[in-house]
Chain A
Amino acid sequence: MSMRTLPLVFINLGGEMLYILDQRLRAHNTSEDNSEKGVWSENDRKRVMNDIVGTMFSKAFMDELLKPQQLYSHRTMKTVLTRLAHASIMRLNPASMDRLYELMVMAFKYQVFLCLRPKDLLLISYNHMDTIREFVKDTPMAVNQVDETHRKIIEAYSSLSEGELQLLRQTLLTFFQDMHVRVSLFLKDQIQNPNGRFALTTSGPVPHGTDVPGLIRIFDCRGREVRRREFLSGGSYTSSIREGSFELHGNRVIRLGMNMYTVDHPEETHTSRAPSVKADGSPNPLAKEELNLLARLMGSMKTENKPKDESGFRINLFNTDKEEAEAGASASAEESLYGVINIQAMQFLVQDEQAASELARIAGQFEEEEEEEKPEKPSNNKGEELLAMMDGL
């Protein structure tokens, strides 16, 4: 499958994360039991946005993402996105992070599923980047980083054919497969059904480059049309609308990827699992390649100094702290127990010691299953040798 998915995954998931965080930071801060210390000021909010955007769009991080590589598991994605969120002064506990991740993924799944044609994936990404630029418009350095990333994305993806972009889209769809978390906002707007599946209408404009279905044309040997017949398409389609801009700035035309959340309705970010959803049954131990990727991505992110009083800037994606705690308890009960993989080895793959210990701490939150299969034969891969060597320490 496609080796170019990571940059788009992070820009779009990261973008959705920023939309949700922005909404939560702006919403009224009176929690029911007054447990959230401190109220978010306008400056605090901008600072959070700048910190996250600065880390996400940093040259080092983006260059890592742009290297051709496979799309790995949700576990890896969630770990890196948690780290990104914590690049700011804001703190999310695991239950809130889980909910945030579900929201982000369902929003992106919706956009990928419903986009009219594969090339629109780029317009969706550009919509996210345009809004992110708006969030940090008062900080020229952050704007520059977004612009620079945008230019790199344009350079990397503009030359891809529709077929290659469809392969990318199919890779993303495999990543989202079987996720049917219900999101209040989507249910309210009827873009999602109560069973968690998205609504796909047989009406509306056809994609750019497609003709409205309904016509059969017959030609003779010399290429002249000799007969045409119409048929009932069973839908009510209209001609395609004009194409959006693929430049650094411009009207993207399509609305997928724009900020759907509004300040006044924080309940929009509520999620619930569809009744028939199965927990991810097959355990997915982080493969060596994934660990390597994780280490490289973590290493390329600057670590911020954590505030002394951690709980002062906590953000909660639930209504009350009690709800959040309850959600956390039930989630950890669901997760199967795994053995612990020796993660000290990672210190040697990551140059920055602080980043390494951060990595160890976050990765330690996910306990991995030990390899049940026969131990792999020692390979010639230097990275693997190093890991194996370090594991023995």
Chain B
Amino acid sequence: MYHKEKSIQIKNSASALYNNLSVLRIAPRRLTHFTVVHANMVNMVSASWDGLNYTHRQLQSKEPNVATSTSLIMQAAFCVLPSRDLLVVTSQKGIQMYESDGSIMVYWHALDTPETPTAQAVFARGIAAVYENYICVGVSSGAILVFDVPSKGSNITLSEVLEEHKESITDMASECSGSQECIANLVTADDGGNLCVWKSGEEFQLLNKIPGFDMSCSSVKLWKGTAVAGYGTGQIRLYEAVTGILHAEINAHARWIYSVDIAPFSGLLLSAAEDSLVRVWHMTITPETNSVEVAHLHNECVTDTQICGARFCDGDGYAFAVTGYDLSEIIRYIQS
């Protein structure tokens, strides 16, 4: 179904972090940006579609105008909003937002770090762009910061802090089907596996809480009102977000899942874990009849590698890319 394509070499190896790959397709310029986190820096590579040009850039996590040591980065993700695209980088010290080509930093938000270190780690993790002009970022305390993003410029402001989760945020996702009819448009996940379902607005509204039974949810996506969550046990669960009804449960992987992704136009689902396997599934979701169907389509094994990032490169799922711990390349696969 898929075959391996030429890999893209990156300047350093990928770190063992959840969702450690972000992809932004820029059709008008016929190129795709990829970002991979290595310790305290983000490797960005822009690949032209004809496969001839690769431009590299490295971004470090640091406060603007301060010459202190950099901090470890937890995640980097592209945020696509109607008016603009931004690259958001979260670390132990704070949150940076760049123009999507990584050229200029437009915003910095410092996290509250205690004077003397506490046993509880401090960091930001979990990034999502939410309808219509919000970027949400999770924090290790469980709080979710909601930023209001103007259509251009750097006048980004912290609009709200959502305090519902009690454990560190792991990942979050906004509704990606493009449908405006969905009631819920954000799902957030934490270390205890709990999922919160929200409706965005001037004041975000909590629609539902789905308990986690103490098993960390490391990656989550929202499609056609269905939350698709990957867990540390290797399970994937599909919940109807607003009601919390469990529609499907897959014993998908033998180790901790690090990444799930959905191709919204085709309903393809991608899952990747520390067991060195990437799996492709197909979901059929009919919200009107409440029916869900999941079929397994394909496996790829990245030998001896604990995978830390996997993303579709386009909305149909024609191609996907994978990163692994200690690996200095982005492996790509395309449909045969």
Residue numbers in A under 8 Å from B12 (CB-CB): 178
Interface residue from B15, B117, B191, B252 paired with A161 (Cβ < 8 Å): B191
Interface residue from B16, B117, B249, B276 paired with A174 (Cβ < 8 Å): B16
Whether the pair B214, A162 counts as a contact (CB closer than 8 A) is yes
Whether the pair B275, A235 counts as a contact (CB closer than 8 A) is yes
Whether the pair A218, B275 counts as a contact (CB closer than 8 A) is no
Which residues, 147 to 178 on A, are CB-close (under 8 Å) to B? 161-164, 166-167, 169-170, 173-174, 177-178
- Interface stretch, picked from B48-56, B118-126, B147-155, is B118-126
Contact with B along A190-207 (1 / 0, CB 8 A): 000100011110100011
Q: Count contacts on B: residues with CB < 8 A to the other chain.
A: 61
Q: Does B69 contact A (CB under 8 A)?
A: yes
Whether the pair A232, B119 counts as a contact (CB closer than 8 A) is no
Q: Complex Cα distance A320/B231, Å?
A: 52
**Most B CB within 10 A of own CB, among A2, A197, A233:** A233
Residue numbers in B under 8 Å from A161 (CB-CB): 167, 191-192, 214, 216
Q: Does B232 contact A (CB under 8 A)?
A: yes
Q: Complex Cα distance A366/B27, Å?
A: 51
Residue numbers in A under 8 Å from B119 (CB-CB): 3-4, 68
B194 to chain A, nearest CB (A): 11
Whether the pair A162, B216 counts as a contact (CB closer than 8 A) is yes
Contact with A along B221-248 (1 / 0, CB 8 A): 0000000000011110000000001111
**Most B CB within 10 A of own CB, among A2, A164, A210:** A210
**Least CB separation from A203: chain B residue:** B254
- What DSSP secondary structure best describes chain A's contact surface? loop
Q: Complex Cα distance A238/B120, Å?
A: 36
**Least CB separation from A289: chain B residue:** B69
Q: Complex Cα distance A202/B190, Å?
A: 28
Residue numbers in A under 8 Å from B208 (CB-CB): none
Residue numbers in A under 8 Å from B255 (CB-CB): 116-117, 206-207, 210
Interface residue from A197, A215, A218, A373 paired with B67 (Cβ < 8 Å): A373
Whether the pair B248, A219 counts as a contact (CB closer than 8 A) is yes
Q: Does B316 contact A (CB under 8 A)?
A: no
Q: Complex Cα distance A46/B10, Å?
A: 49
Q: Does B33 contact A (CB under 8 A)?
A: no
Query: Known interface pairs A197-B304, A218-B294. Does A202 touch B248 (Cβ–Cβ under 8 Å)?
Result: no
Interface residue from A4, A69, A177, A210 paired with B326 (Cβ < 8 Å): A177
A contact set with B: CB distance below 8 Å: 1-4, 67-70, 113, 116-118, 161-164, 166-167, 169-170, 173-174, 177-178, 180, 193, 197-200, 202, 206-207, 209-219, 221, 223, 229, 231-235, 237, 287, 373-374, 376
Closest 10 CB pairs of A and B: A163-B191, A231-B296, A163-B216, A173-B16, A211-B251, A234-B299, A373-B67, A68-B119, A68-B117, A215-B251
A180-B326, A219-B249 are known; give 17 further A-B pairs, CB within 8 A.
A3-B117, A68-B118, A70-B117, A162-B214, A163-B170, A164-B191, A170-B15, A177-B15, A177-B38, A193-B304, A216-B248, A217-B248, A218-B247, A218-B294, A219-B248, A233-B254, A234-B277
